[in-house]
């Protein structure tokens, strides 16, 4: 499942639409709410005051980003507002707040893979459900876990406006970081074009596969 990073294809199947709706309703809100929660814990209640400390997708979804996600396979949510002046250490606060988004997606993926494993272990208790129902539930959970990892990988790319740029700023000299911010608009356009053309698809898919398989590795000892 290419999910968040799938390229433009002729025709969209119902399964693809469902998977993209799941991303919008579950994965994006988890990511954005994690930013809001971390910022609040570090002293900035801006996002909380604006109603963004919630898993309600309506509070997080961007209209244009949602439409592109449904039609083209990639999109975005509304950025969580953060005021670095409220942090004791602004640069560190921004970095930790940025890290919370991708980290929440990785934790979410771990929980989902564990749930899949539990369902397989206790499959006898699910005997009352039709096999086709169990099959679809397992595939949805696995698909959500995979896309959650891919969302984390994408956001960890260290270029603006992605979370990775703020994390990278923790080790980047201020002079270079502010120079990068000057060109943020142009870098954002370049990232968008790379997403649209699918150039980013292969490296992101490569890293996603490795991380996802690493998550599944412990379960091989109990199979």
Q: What whole-number distance in Å separates Cα of residue 115 and Cα of residue 206?
A: 24
pLDDT of 10:
41
Q: Give dist(CA 175, CA 173) in Å, integer.
A: 5
- Concerning whether 209 is annotated as a catalytic residue, the answer is no
Q: Do 209 and 146 meet the contact criterion of CB atoms below 8 Å apart?
A: no
Taking phi over 0 as left and psi of -120 to 50 as alpha, with beta for the rest, 22 belongs to: alpha
Contact 149, 106 (CB under 8 A): yes
Lowest-pLDDT range, 66-70, 112-116, 129-133, 143-147?
A: 129-133
Which of 15, 32, 184, 209 is catalytic? The answer is 32
Q: What percent of the chain has pLDDT over 90?
A: 40
Nearest by Cα to 52 from 64, 67, 68, 34: 34
pLDDT, position 2 = 35
* Phi and psi, residue 152, nearest 5°: -65, -45
Q: What is the percent of the chain where pLDDT is above 70? A: 89
Query: What's the pLDDT tens digit per position in 201-220?
Result: 889 889 999 999 998 887 76
> What pLDDT, in 10s, does the model give residues 151-206?
899 999 988 888 999 998 888 887 877 777 787 788 888 887 887 777 888 898 89
Helices 174-182 and 184-197: angle between axes, nearest 10 degrees: 70
pTM of the model as a whole: 0.83
- Determine the pLDDT at residue 6: 40
Whole-number average pLDDT of the chain: 84
Q: What is the signed CA dihedral for 67, 69, 74, 76, rounded to 10 degrees?
A: 70
pLDDT of residue 118: 87
* Confidence (pLDDT) at 220: 67
Greatest mean pLDDT among 72-86, 89-103, 135-149:
89-103
5: pLDDT confidence band, cut at 50, 70 and 90?
very low
């Amino acid at each position: 499942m290419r999910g968040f990073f799938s390229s433009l294809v002729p025709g969209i199947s119902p399964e693809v639409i469902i998977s993209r709706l799941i991303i919008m309703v579950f994965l994006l809100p988890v990511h954005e709410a994690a930013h809001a929660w971390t910022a609040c814990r570090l002293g900035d209640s801006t996002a909380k005051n604006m109603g963004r400390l919630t898993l309600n997708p309506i509070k997080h979804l961007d209209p244009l980003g949602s439409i592109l996600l449904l039609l083209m396979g990639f999109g975005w949510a509304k950025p969580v507002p953060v005021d670095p002046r409220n942090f004791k250490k602004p640069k560190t606060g921004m970095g930790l707040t940025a890290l919370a988004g991708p980290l929440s997606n990785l934790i979410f993926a771990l929980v989902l893979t564990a749930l899949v494993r539990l369902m397989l272990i206790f499959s006898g208790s699910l005997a009352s459900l039709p096999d086709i129902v169990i099959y679809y539930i397992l595939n949805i959970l696995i698909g959500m876990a995979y896309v959650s990892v891919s969302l984390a990988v994408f956001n960890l790319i260290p270029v603006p406006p992605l979370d990775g740029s703020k994390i990278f700023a923790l080790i980047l000299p201020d002079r270079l970081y502010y120079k990068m911010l000057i060109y943020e608009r142009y870098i954002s356009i370049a990232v968008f074009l790379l997403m649209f053309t699918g150039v980013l698809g292969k490296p992101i898919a490569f890293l996603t596969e490795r991380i996802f398989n690493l998550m599944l590795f412990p379960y091989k000892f109990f199979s």
